[in-house]
Structure 1
């Protein structure tokens, strides 16, 4: 580790590693990534790996579509496996209100060039024969949605960034950020050592608000536990990741046959708690077998929990801030950071290097909360 760096990145998940890679790819190799645990130890390594373009907001749709284009060529670019698989996403509607919502969403998504369609229950069952269509009014399906292995993708970015000259500091925690004359000056580590920095990237996931406060910036990002489980490997049953808004669940079959599933508890408080619960296990298995009864006798292999970094409108906060020069952030993804990570990171690297981006991030600035311009993303599970 050197005395100082042009860019210091806090967080070793997909955002931190991908920003480091895209900076180095464009020639800025004077970069240090600090991760207090291990690579992909936070939200990235605990997520389901879904990659969805079917969102409510134009911002999320564009970031997701851009990320899918990157994911499609990422194995070749990084020279590392990603297990990217485009089996689609099937979103289920069981109420007239959800059907009306789906129609509006599809109209917006198609206007932005997304290959998505509204389908009836028969078509949904053609795509997933084992699905329970009782009470199902319709669904939406996007064939280019899919999933990837979060560990492989993140380690691919990590390895390639290292090859390009990016430095890493693993197992060290940031304890403070030095700001003088409204500018980032240095990062202070928990052992008391000081690393000079001209620019700092907050990519700290569920701990993003803590890092921002060290720089004198308050962002409305709060950590919330979300639980997940995976079953034993079974024979191939279905390709798409399935979301039921009635049940508030998602589930997909992994390439090895295991079925990975989760849901968000609306009563879950803000906390850093990542313990698993028997309540989740009971509720999850009950909910998923109502949607796909054939899973009733499948055994659960393991369960775990991770943190969603939630914002008031469930959309990310990306970009710099007026208060502190040299401070950048890509935080508050509200559970979908992995799927929009590649494009987000590419754009943030552009911003750091050139002061502008090829896709506007203005509407994702933290200023929107003060100005009352936030639009709630309702499609978060």
Structure 2
């Protein structure tokens, strides 16, 4: 194991690997990634892997479409298949107020060059012929939304980073960060000390604990979210089906299985990853209501993963002012995979030049102290 590096990244999920790759691509190749387990073994590998540009704030729209543009060329750039499938997202509103918000979202998206649109129930059923539209009051759709494989994508970033000289250490846990006179001096691990002047906290649901190593308190906490996957059947649904009032996302994968989940009613702050029968029952009811002709579909398995939640469900990106050389890319609140390609690039830009191609100043951890929370209306 190396004993010194220009940059040490803590966390081997999509964020950590994307930051590492982009740093190396921009010329900074003396980079180490520390992962306490294996690459993509945490939240990244357990996510539903949706990607979308349909958001309700300008910041998220810009990040979303920029990330999609990278995803569309990522297999070629990284030299490996990332499992990209762009079947779109079909947003379904069950309340008039929700539909009005979706229409405002579309207006914002269109003003930023995102070609989303309001569609009719008939158009929705063309995209998903088995869809039950009863009770729905409106729909929006964007054809470039979709999903990618989170494991293939993260592995592709990791391998491309290694080809550029990045060192990635699995089963290597950061246990402390040495800070002297307000500056990062190094990282202590279970395998020894690495001297460095720059540490990037990409530790996902453990980001608060890692920040505490440097004497920094950030309001990020883990929240268990559950997912299930079904047996594969012939293709019957092209887009990701999502509703905020209905509280669900349902996607048929290219091989035929459905993957689905919803936001928990109880927002427990815990690293627990156990699965529950309550989720299985609740998800089954939502699925059968939406796609009643598939009521006999069998569940193959279910699992849980952690969302890394922030108080406004928006990420914390940027440098930590009181500790020179300490950076944070965490708190994505369920959207870390879809934003990974663009935030990896932006964090590398910030570390190397102090500037970013898309402004991220508003995502500083200090916004919580100032009461400047960013409320995104388009989240499950």
Tell me the TM-score range normalised by the shorter chain: over 0.9
Instruction: Write the deviation string for residues 158-193 of structure 1: whole angstroms up to 9, x where unpaired.
Output: 1111111101111011111101111111101135x2
Partner of 1:104: 104
Matches within 5 A, 1:231-250: 231-250=230-249
Corresponding residue for residue 204 of structure 1:
203
Where does residue 311 of structure 2 map in the other structure?
312
* CA–CA separation in structure 2 for the residues paired with 1:72 and 1:147: 11
Structure 1 stretches of at least 4 aligned residues deviating more than 4 Å after TM superposition: none
Distance, in Å, in 1 between the alignment partners of 2:267 and 2:281 is 16
2:307 aligned counterpart, secondary structure? strand
> Could you list the per-position Cα deviations for residues 122-166 of structure 1 after superposition, in whole angstroms to 9, with x for gaps in the alignment?
221122111101111111100010100000000000111111110
The aligned residue for residue 34 of structure 2 is 34
2:75 is aligned to 75
Structure 1 range deviating more: 325-334 or 370-379: 370-379
Do the aligned partners of 1:335 and 1:380 also contact (CA within 8 Å) in 2? Answer: no
1:124 maps onto 2:119 in alignment: no
Distance 1:102 1:359 in 2: 24
Q: Match of 2:61, SS?
A: helix
**CA–CA distance in 1 between the matches of 2:110 and 2:219?**
31
Q: Which residue of 2 aligns with 1:13?
A: 13
> Which residue of structure 2 aligns with residue 276 of structure 1?
275
2:153 paired with 1:171 = no
Within 5 Å, which residues of 2 pair with 1:1-381?
A: 1-191=1-191, 193-381=192-380
Give 1:275 shift: 0.7
In 2, Cα distance between equivalents of 1:349 and 1:100:
38
CA distance in 2, matches of 1:294, 1:28: 54
SS in 2 for 1:303: strand
Once the two structures are superposed, what CA deviation does each residue of 1:290-322 show, in whole Å capped at 9, x if it has no partner?
011122101001100000011111110101011
In structure 1, how many angstroms separate the alpha carbons of the residues matched to 2:326 and 2:250? 37
User: In the alignment, is the contact (CA less than 8 A) between 2:244 and 2:379 conserved in 1?
Assistant: no
Give the conservation status (yes or no) of the 8 Å contact 1:119–1:139: yes
Per-residue CA deviations over 1:206-254 (Å, capped at 9, x if unaligned) read 1111101111111111100000010011110111000022320101011
Alignment partners' CA distance in 1, 2:59 and 2:294: 36
**Alpha-carbon shift at residue 57 of structure 1 (Å):** 1.6
Alpha carbons 1:21, 1:161 under 8 Å: kept: yes
Q: CA deviation at 1:118?
A: 1.2
Contact 2:18-2:157 at 8 Å conserved across structures: yes
TM-score by length of 1: 0.98
Residue 110 of structure 1, CA deviation: 1.1
Matches of 1:358 and 1:19 in 2, distance apart?
Answer: 15
Q: Distance in 2 between matches of 1:96 and 1:120?
A: 15
SS of the equivalent of 2:198 reads strand
- 8 Å contact from structure 2 (residues 94, 246) kept in 1: no
Preserved contact between residue 120 and residue 137 of structure 1 (Cα < 8 Å) = no
Cα deviations by residue, 1:330-371 (Å, 9 ceiling, x for unpaired): 100000100010000001001111111111110111111111
Q: Distance in 2 between matches of 1:57 and 1:243?
A: 18
Report deviation, 1:268. Answer: 2.9
**Structure 2 length-normalised TM:** 0.98
CA contact (8 A) 1:334 1:380 kept: no
Equivalences, count: 380
Structure 2: distance between partners of 1:297 and 1:311: 38
Q: What runs of 5+ residues in structure 2 fail to find an aligned partner?
A: none
